[in-house]
Amino acid sequence: MAQVQALYIAAEKRGPVSRHPALKVEAGRGIVGDRRYRRNTPPAEQITLIESEQVAAFNREFGVRVEPGALRRNVITEGVDLNALEGRLFQVGGILMRGIELCEPCSVVGHLLAGPSLSPAQVVRGLTGRGGLRAEVLASGVLREGDPIRAHEPEPSA
């Protein structure tokens, strides 16, 4: 079953991330308390998701132990192909969302995760195509760890 494994926010830009069992979200604004939450938050900045399976694959490939929260995504998922949700409606718990674009890794994440055996460029290359999804929040409510994730059927072409 596709579900939410963990929830994170960062209260300030480049500030530390903190895990929460539940987060309040507002349509058109994003996650209350997150650094990007404001009036008229652009859709691609409202919420980010990443697959726990992709974090585990990155760790195996590079022989590191990166915690999912270190990737600075808001929602850690399990059992769902997020890349397939780009441009589609989906539901997390009772919250309707729309996948906007893939959340490719940036130099900030590259530098945060770099280490003695892993350069920032290697981090970025290693996460490209599997860095998660940026999504728009279309309904207000509360997200919780353990919430199910369900893709809506694509709308028929006209």
DSSP one-letter string for 105-120: --HHHHHHH-BTTB-H
Does 158 score more than 60 pLDDT?
no
In the three-class reduction of DSSP (H, G, I as helix; E, B as strand; rest coil), residue 20 is classed as: coil
Specify burial of residue 68 (Cβ count, 10 A radius: 0-12, 13-18, 19+): buried
Does 85 score more than 60 pLDDT?
yes
Residue spans of the domains in the chain: they are 3-151
**Per-residue model confidence (pLDDT) at position 86:** 96
User: Which residue, 64, 47, 22, is CA-closest to 98?
Assistant: 47
Does 154 score more than 70 pLDDT?
no
Query: What's the pTM?
Result: 0.92
* Four-way CATH pick for 3-151: 3.30.300.180, 2.40.33.20, 3.90.79.10, 3.30.450.20: 2.40.33.20
Q: Which amino acid is at 101?
A: E
Does 156 score more than 80 pLDDT?
no
Split at pLDDT 50, 70, 90, the class of 94 is very high
Split at pLDDT 50, 70, 90, the class of 157 is low
